[in-house]
Every structure is written in C-alpha cells, then in structure tokens.
Amino acid sequence: MQIRRRDLLAGAAAAMPRGAAAGSFDINSVRADFPRTRTAAYFDNASCHPLSVQSAAALHRFIEWNTNEVGEPWWPYWSEARQQSKALFAELINARPSEIAFLRSTVEAESNLLNGMNIQAEGGNVVTNDLHYSASIYNYKMRQKAGLDVRIVKHRDWQLDLRDFERVVDKKTKLIAVALVSNVNGYLCDVKALSQLAHAHGALLYADIIQCVGAIPIDVKAMGIDLAAASTYKWLMGLKGFGFAYIREDLQGTVVKPTQHSGGVRFNYAPWTTTPDPKQEDIGFSPVTGPGRYEVSYASCSGIICALESLKYIKQLGVDNIRAHSRALTGRLQKEMPRIGYPSITPPGNESPILAFATRDPQAAIARLKQAGVHVAMRFGNKMRISPSVYNSQEDVDRLLNALS
Ligand SMILES: Cc1ncc(COP(=O)(O)O)c(C=O)c1O
C-alpha cells in the first residue's frame, strides 16, 4: 500500500471530532471517538489518557508509511507536523511557537531547565512544595544533598498558602517551582500570586502543567508563568515520551541556557569539500537558535503525529467546553462521594478535572470498582483519585457511585 503525503494530511483533516460546536459538544460522538468507553468507566486520565480513534488512525498511517514502500518522501509531512504541533500547543497556552521546544519528559525538562540556570553556583535558592510531583521533589532533594539551597513548602489541609511561600522566598530565590495542578488531589495553585511573588524577588516561576494542559484554560502570559513543561500522555491525549516545554523568549540562551548542544557542522577540507576556504576554520559549526536549542536530535515522530491529532481535537472541542464538561462531573462527585463515606481531600470549588477522596478500606473499594468495570487510581495508600475526561458521562458517575455505595 502506498501512503502519500496528501493521504496523511487528509487523514489529519478528518481528525476533527464530530458534533463539536461552540458552547458544548456532543458527548455521544466523543464517546465514539474513544473506544475504551465501550467496556469500562475509565476515570484514570490523570495517570494515562486513552487515545482517540483519530490519533490511532494517524499512528497506523505512520506505521504503514514506515513499513511499506512509500510514494513520497516523509520529510515534508514531518516538517509540517512539527511546526503545526508547536503552533497548536503555543496557541493552547497563549505562547508563541518560538517559545516552544519538544521534550521527552516533564520531569526531565524541569531538571534540564534548572541545570541551565546555574542557581547553585550563584548562591541562589529554589522554592518548591510538597504537592509538586514526587519525582521532581526527589530531584530537588538530591540537589539539596549536593549543596543547592532548596526550600520545600508544606501544604496545609491539601492546599498551598501564599504566606508560607512569602516566609521562605527572599532576594536569593531564583526559582519557584510548582505543579499548576497537583497529581495528588488536583489542587490548582494560585500561580499568578506565586509568579508575582517570584518576580518581585527577581526569580522565575516554573509550572509543571502536565496535569492540566488540554483540560483547563492556561494563559502563560496572564498567569505570569516563565517556564513550563508537559508531556502528552495525560490531558493532551497523546503518548508517553514526548511533550512540549515553554521557555519565555527573552530567557532563551541567557537566563536559561541550553545544557545540551544542538547545531550544524561544516567541514572545510578535502575530501569533505573540493574548494576549502582558507579563511574559514577546518570544522565550522553553527548552533541552533530559538527554542530548538533545547532539543537534541530527532523528537519522537509518533509523539508528534499523535499530539498533532489530539491538539486539533482539543481545539475543536474547545478547552472551555472541556472544562465545563468535567466540572459537571467533578461537581457531582465532590457532593456525592463524602455522603457515601469518602471525604474529599480536594478543596471545594477547585477548578481542575482531578479529585481525591480518603478511603477507609482501599482494597475493598478497588475490588468493588473492578467488579463494576470502573477504573480509578489509588495513590499514597488510601487516596482514591478520580479524573474524568471528555468522554466520561453522568452514567459513568452513576456506575462509580453505585459500586461504592
Ligand atoms: C504532576 C506530574 N508531573 C510530572 C509527571 C511525569 O511526567 P513525565 O513522565 O512526562 O516526566 C507526572 C506523572 O504522573 C505528574 O503527575
């Protein structure tokens, strides 16, 4: 079978969810796009979001293209897909494409950005908190062991209090690092207040946005976020091992230096060239400029192809509609779960698609949910995390509540 570039692009155009309209979307069409909904009430999107049929089809076309004789070179499609996916991600968070780099992992990106800031050598400190992702906290603890001044704010009743940050941020603080939405209980932190605090002390604000980008509106400019990262396997409905970093344009290569090297090399001697230029050095090189300077080698083709489909899908549904949809489900769960014996550890009115509930008997609860075909996550011993997405319905919520009642 011959796959041509226009087949891939045509396939991409067909990726639009059916029935999406301003103000709402057709839940039945969306459910049809996620075959997983046929067999289970899947509420574990904060662990890993299922793929849509559109993304799966794009991946199949890509595999076909790689497996069989191809009609056309793949590079033009690939190059377009790279640009389009960066442009759509930038639009989603109100950044410019020139502020977006590809990444492999959220945690790795945070670590690399931190390395590029040279904070320890300059005697600076980093402020983070215990609702940040555990692998990131581990990273900061290891750096603390190696001499970096790290200050970890503890949550109070599963929320962060600005005053606790004010107490530890000082003129030597170079970075405040937070998860915009916590993977523990979905707590959405007041990132605007934290960025104001950071900026008032000459520091930057890093936000791990993996648990919210695609699910709630994010505006990095309005929120004062300087650096951010998210891979695509959660609310961007994509694959593991691929994602996007946001690096504010004026910080690139200056305040946040690349820590890996990416660029082109020119050989200026025979047999590489028949016309060496005596004025040029033997091996010349030109570094990549712009956000590509934070990328090394090829980004994941399958990651980009999948992200492109899902970014189009999310755009078509509309993030405000996505948020409104999950709010109806989380609102009901916040009300009903405590009534049947599961107190919430997510603050009331919290604007994220993730909730967590204290569970008296985690094993029994999981067994009952499994029996009913309902997927949730049990984390940190007894915290039941429920994270509905675009295809979850009120009937899914009924199923979950009935199983636990
Ligand atoms: C808040 C948060 N940050 C980071 C990660 C890990 O992301 P990655 O696999 O892209 O490093 C997770 C995974 O659950 C997460 O919940």
DSSP count for the chain of H helices, then E strands: 13, 16
pLDDT of res. 17: 55
Task: For residues 289-314, give the mean pLDDT.
Answer: 95
Ligand 1 mean position, distance from CA 112 (Å): 15
Which atom of ligand 1 is least distant from the CA of 182? 1
Residue 221's nearest CA partner among 313, 91, 331 is: 91
Q: What are the distances in angstroms from CA 353 to CA 3, 58, 91, 253, 387?
A: 39, 27, 21, 35, 6
Ligand 1 mean position, distance from CA 139 (Å): 13
Question: Which CATH architecture best describes the domain 83-259+292-314?
Answer: 3-Layer(aba) Sandwich (3.40)
Q: Which residue has the tokens 């949910």?
A: 369
- Cα(167)–Cα(164) distance, rounded to whole angstroms? 5
Amino acid at 300: S
Ligand 1 mean position, distance from CA 237 (Å): 14
Q: Confirm if 293 and 253 have CB atoms less than 8 A apart.
A: yes
Which atom of ligand 1 is least distant from the CA of 179? 1
Distance of CA 281 to the CA centre of its chain: 43
**Lowest model confidence (mean pLDDT) among 39-48, 74-83, 275-284:** 74-83
Q: Is the CB–ligand 1 distance for residue 133 below 6 Å? A: yes
- Residue 276: is the preceding peptide bond cis (ω within 30°)? no
Which atom of ligand 1 is least distant from the CA of 47? 14
Instruction: Supply 366's token pair.
Output: 């999981």
Task: For residues 244-252, give the mean pLDDT.
Answer: 98
Q: What are the distances in angstroms from CA 112 to CA 163, 258, 336?
A: 29, 8, 42
List of long-range contacts for 314-318, beta carbons under 8 Å, 24+ apart: 314/92, 314/214, 314/236, 314/237, 315/88, 315/91, 315/92, 316/16, 316/17, 316/20, 317/17, 317/20, 317/25, 317/30, 317/390, 318/20, 318/22, 318/25
Instruction: Supply 345's token pair.
Output: 């550890």
User: Could you tell me the residue ranges of all domains in the chain?
Assistant: 83-259+292-314, 319-404
Q: Is the CB–ligand 1 distance for residue 106 below 6 Å? A: yes
Ligand 1 mean position, distance from CA 44 (Å): 14
Instruction: Tell me: pLDDT of 4 over 70.
Output: no
Q: Which of 183, 206, 232, 387 to mutate to test the pocket of ligand 1 (most atoms within 8 A of CB)?
A: 183
Q: Is the CB–ligand 1 distance for residue 352 below 6 Å? A: no
Taking CA atoms only, the protein residue closest to ligand 1 atom 14 is 47
Q: Is the CB–ligand 1 distance for residue 231 below 6 Å? A: yes
In tens, the pLDDT along 143-181 reads: 999 999 999 999 999 999 999 999 999 999 999 999 999
Tell me the pTM. 0.94
> Can you identify the CATH homologous superfamily of domain 319-404?
Aspartate Aminotransferase, domain 1 (3.90.1150.10)
pLDDT band at 9 (very low <50, low <70, confident <90, very high): very low
Instruction: Supply 70's token pair.
Output: 């191809």
Q: Confirm if 66 and 1 have CB atoms less than 8 A apart.
A: no
